[in-house]
Amino acid sequence: MRHPWRTSIAALALLALPFLGSGARAGLPEALSETVLPGHAAFTAATAALNEAARADCRPETLRPSWNAAFDAWMGISHLRLGPAETDGRALAIAFWPDPKGSGARTQARLLEAADPALLEPERFAEVSVAARGLFALERLLYDPALASEPACALTRATAADLARMAVELETDWRESFAPLMLSAGAPGNDRFLTEAEARQALFTQLMTGLEFTADQRLGRPLGTFDRPRPERAEARLSGRSQRNVELSLAALERLALALAPDSPRTREGFERARSQAAALDDPRFEGAADPSRRLRIEILQQRLHALRDQLAAEVGGALGVSVGFNAADGD
Amino acid sequence: MKSRLLALAATAPCALLPLPALAVERAEVVETYADIAEATYGDSLATARDLQMAVKALVAQPSEQTLAAARTAWIAARVPYQQSEAFRFGNPIVDDWEGKVNAWPLDEGLIDYVDPTHGGATEENDLATLNVIATPTFTLSGTEVDATEITPALISGTLHEADGIEANVASGYHAIEFLLWGQDLNGTEAGAGNRPFTDYASGGACTGGNCDRRGAYLLAATDLLVSDLEYMVAQWSEGGAAREAVSADPAAGLQAMLTGMGSLSYGEQAGERMKLGLMLNDPEEEHDCFSDNTHNSHYYDGLGIRNVYLGRYERVDGSRVEGPSLSDLVAEADTGLDEVLRGQLDTTLERLDALRTAAAEGMAYDQMLAPGNKRGEELIMGAVDALVTQTASIERATTALGLAKIEFEGSDSLDDPNAVFQ
């Protein structure tokens, strides 16, 4: 299912050129050229390397480093949930988490049981439930003793190939279509972004929603409540990346915020403090959520991120002249 | 009358001039909104009382007919309630309460027997197979629970969201739906839940076990739904807190209206309820999964969004509640945008209606979710795209009315970043 914005792209890409460097859109071109586009290029490269590695040798222990590199690259762009990331449900298929009903593991178990090579052909596999694809599907194959066995090799390869394909499509759409569309905001024929403010607001909304996701999901899910902590719900717990993902997401959000509004001393300081607090947790899987003394440090980091959110709304939002728009995380 | 008002407004050369005296008043628009909310919840309550009567008849005299009548009453009750969902986001009084009546999806094994291959304990929920109907006493989070008598208080106070897990839905429309239809074991094939009426029969005719407790649960859950809706009607009546909250500051009221429209359109309906289910190919990921009534639920959600914009609600008895509308206000600010948004709201309803047509012709919503069902995918994504498109215009309407809330420095947490930790 393609979005209408794909159709008039070529013309708009040309229109966009004369606008480059215009002060009125301060921040937007920088955010795209310094963070969004390089972030996607890095993700394409990392998933291509993972795919190559899987083809050469699909044993979990040899694949883990390239899988981790791909996940690191994803953390640089995971907060961008608009346009190309929504097409075909790509962001969901690349990183389906949380999965409270365990849909991913169930579907993967069925695929392994079926042992049908036809289901693993690229075209068929692209139709498989988003819960059973992408980085978290690979995490189970590489780290879950229940799945990381020899017969899983074919599924590992199919999943890695599918991930690399999505990364290429995602990057291509951003580079050739969506970034030019944002840069030509307000130009005749651009009915997605009628004004430059709309394009700025779109990226600002991703920034704010990304920060909320890290605070409320990546930290909030394992925290649960004081009486009922849920460390088993931490993101990427199998591979022990829970804390690392928080640190990398904060770094990526900081880059975006400062590209959008470079003159933001409070934002800069707020991110620095949050990152050093996150690094000091020394709790890769957030097991400390269930330990009253260590739990407090995770809670303090969460409060720090909520305060940072207010700072961003004022400083970055103020500089851009926009507020948070509707986003995919609305609803429950 | 209305067209003359709009014509006058259109002649005002620019926004710097005072608005003509006859211009649409923001306070009146918000009043229409509160009136529609009161009527929509009022209809939800009236149809829930009909459901309550039908459920009493079913439990008193279980038969094919009384079960069918209760199911029909449930489907009718969904018509006004789904339209009320446009009031949910943007009004904290509604959003904080909503989980009692419309929580979804649920681990239904908490309530009653389930097929061992459909549902059961999950990694995250130990209570997914509790089956309280078969279990008069049990331990919950270390505490002994006496459920020998199934009451509304037991359901709302102890069972609902037990163990802090949202999937432990013990009350509301979907719990009742499960008790009337049972699990839909057909996957993405044709057919809804098929609970026999004998699940409520007495003595030797009882199927599924514990028929008396099942009947008690159904009655208590329906009583609870009625009292929860009574509460919400009161919130929107004259002097009610929800009405006061939007009336006290009409600008905040307008913001609540647009927030409700946009959040339901995009994050909730297009994303969580429609696209996600399609991407998971999971027949459980349909809003009314036991009754296969999802096509109607989606349609009335869309209609509720349009009601808010047009300031017009057609009641269950066919009468109308209407008044000065958000559409009138937006047209004053930007005629073109109002036209576009009205057109988009209509398009969304057409696309949602196409789901109803397909369901009437034999392709239920869960069948549309089947992997490889291209027609189903087109139907669902057609509606999703329309909802996403209208969201952009709703956002523009917020800007056109000068309601975009740009936050500026000056709050405690900003001036002293450590204030929040004290």
Cα distance between residue B288 and residue B58, in whole Å: 21
Winning range, highest mean pLDDT, from A96-110, B269-283, B320-334, B368-382: B320-334
Nearest to B400 by CA among B325, B328, B337, B316: B337
pLDDT tens-digit series, residues A296-317? 999 999 999 999 999 999 999 9
Asked if residue B407 is part of any domain, the answer here is: no
Same domain, A219 and A133: no
A129 Cβ contact list (under 8 Å, min separation 6): A103, A104, A107, B279, B280, B281, B282, B371
Structure tokens at B376: 């189903």
Contact status, residue A319 vs residue A197, Cβ threshold 8 Å: no
Residue A8 has pLDDT above 60, yes or no: no
Q: What is the pLDDT of residue B295?
A: 96
pLDDT grade, residue A16 (50/70/90)? very low
Asked if residue A11 is part of any domain, the answer here is: no
Domain housing A286: 196-320
Residue B23 has pLDDT above 50, yes or no: yes
Domain harbouring B220, CATH code: 1.20.1420.20
Helix, strand or coil, per DSSP, at residue B417: coil
Nearest to A218 by CA among A247, A188, A239: A247
Q: Return the residue of B nearest to A127 by Cα.
A: B371
Residue A24 has pLDDT above 50, yes or no: no
DSSP character at residue A195: S
Radius of gyration of chain B from Cα atoms?
Answer: 23
Helix, strand or coil, per DSSP, at residue A250: helix
Q: CB A322 to CB B406 under 8 A? A: yes
Cα distance between residue A173 and residue A87, in whole Å: 10
Contact status, residue B49 vs residue B229, Cβ threshold 8 Å: no
DSSP character at residue A47: H
Radius of gyration of chain A from Cα atoms?
Answer: 20
Residue B290 has pLDDT above 60, yes or no: yes
Same domain, A258 and A138: no
Residue B404 has pLDDT above 90, yes or no: no
Helix axes B92-102, B173-181, angle to 10 degrees: 20
Same domain, A120 and A231: no
Q: CB B268 to CB A331 under 8 A? A: yes
Asked if residue A285 is part of any domain, the answer here is: yes
Long-range contacts of B415-419 (CB under 8 A, 24+ apart): B417/A266, B417/A269, B417/A270, B417/A307, B417/A311
Q: What is the pLDDT of residue A100?
A: 87
Distance from CA of B321 to the nearest CA of A (A): 27
Q: Return the residue of A nearest to B396 by Cα.
A: A198
Domain count, chain A: 2
Q: Return the residue of A nearest to B117 by Cα.
A: A106
Helix, strand or coil, per DSSP, at residue B141: coil
Our CA angle for B186, B190, B191, nearest 5°, is 65
Task: Output the CA–CA distances (angstroms, integers) from residue A57 to A53, A150, B11, in the order listed.
Answer: 6, 11, 73
Residue B394: other Cβ atoms inside 10 A: 27
Contact status, residue A221 vs residue A232, Cβ threshold 8 Å: no
Domain harbouring A86, CATH code: 1.20.1420.20
Helix, strand or coil, per DSSP, at residue B291: coil
- Among A37-51, A111-125, B20-34, B152-166, the minimum mean pLDDT is found in B20-34
Residues 222-251 of A with CB under 8 A from B: 224-225, 228, 232-233
Contact status, residue B91 vs residue B246, Cβ threshold 8 Å: yes
CB contacts of A318 in chain B (<8 Å) are 406-409
Same domain, A162 and A217: no
Query: pLDDT: is B8 or A191 the higher one?
Result: A191
pLDDT grade, residue B317 (50/70/90)? very high
Structure tokens at A274: 């949050």
Long-range contacts of A103-106 (CB under 8 A, 24+ apart): A103/A129, A103/A131, A103/A132, A103/B280, A103/B282, A104/A129, A104/A131, A104/A132, A104/A136, A104/A137, A104/A140, A105/A140, A105/A144, A105/A147
Q: CB A303 to CB B421 under 8 A? A: yes
Interface check A59 vs B, CB under 8 A: no
Interface check A126 vs B, CB under 8 A: no
Residue in A131, A314, A318 nearest the CB of B280: A131
pLDDT grade, residue A26 (50/70/90)? low
Domain housing B85: 2-10+23-400
**pTM attached to this predicted model:** 0.89
Residue A147 has pLDDT above 90, yes or no: no
Helix axes B326-333, B335-360, angle to 10 degrees: 140
Cα distance between residue A53 and residue A66, in whole Å: 7
Q: What is the pLDDT of residue A148?
A: 63
Same domain, A171 and A208: no
**Mean pLDDT in residue range B303-323:** 98
Asked if residue B159 is part of any domain, the answer here is: yes
Same domain, A268 and A294: yes
pLDDT tens-digit series, residues B319-368? 999 999 999 999 999 999 999 999 999 999 999 999 999 999 999 999 99
Inter-chain contacts counted by CB atoms under 8 A, chains A and B: 123
